[in-house]
Amino acid sequence: MRFLVDTQNISHERLNDEVIIINLASAAYYSGSGTASDLWTLICQGASTEEATKFLASEYKCDESVVSREIEVCLASLVKAGIVLAHDTPSPTETALSLPAVDRGEWTAPHFDEYLDMWDLLRFDPVHDVGEAGWPVAVPHKA
């Protein structure tokens, strides 16, 4: 199984050992580090779950069955959040997978923390929605 990133609604960036993902449709953002950022990097490179499992098990020197089980849970949460879409079409070419050179510790289950506190800022129009006090004070909305 492969997963596709919803490029219409998802913006993401890896910074060293952390990945930040923003869902522009829901205004939720996600942060993951370590194994989560490595999994995200591989998925973005087109890796299947099987390829990601083998690669991560090798990188972290961990049992493939443990890695497989834990990345399935992580990917299911990303599908549920609308971050990635399950895609069962095989890749047309072999993918050369790679990860940034960072210090990797022990294998831990990949996990993304979800933050929901950005909606007001993402929909805020700083040109039209400011009060007399100026930016960043918004015009009070009437109930």
Exposed (0-12), middle (13-18) or buried (19+): which is 133, by Cβ within 10 Å?
exposed
Is there a contact between 84 and 72 (Cβ–Cβ < 8 Å)?
no
C-alpha angle 103-106-68 in degrees, rounded to nearest 5: 115
Q: What is the pLDDT along the chain (143 residues), one digit of tens a residue?
A: 899 998 889 999 999 899 999 998 888 899 999 999 999 999 999 999 999 999 999 999 999 999 999 999 999 999 999 999 998 776 656 668 999 888 888 999 999 999 987 766 656 555 555 566 666 666 566 65
Tell me the pLDDT tens digit for each residue of 87-118.
Answer: 877 665 666 899 988 888 899 999 999 998 77
- pLDDT at 84 (0 to 100): 95
Residue 72 Ramachandran class (φ > 0 left, ψ -120 to 50 alpha, else beta):
alpha
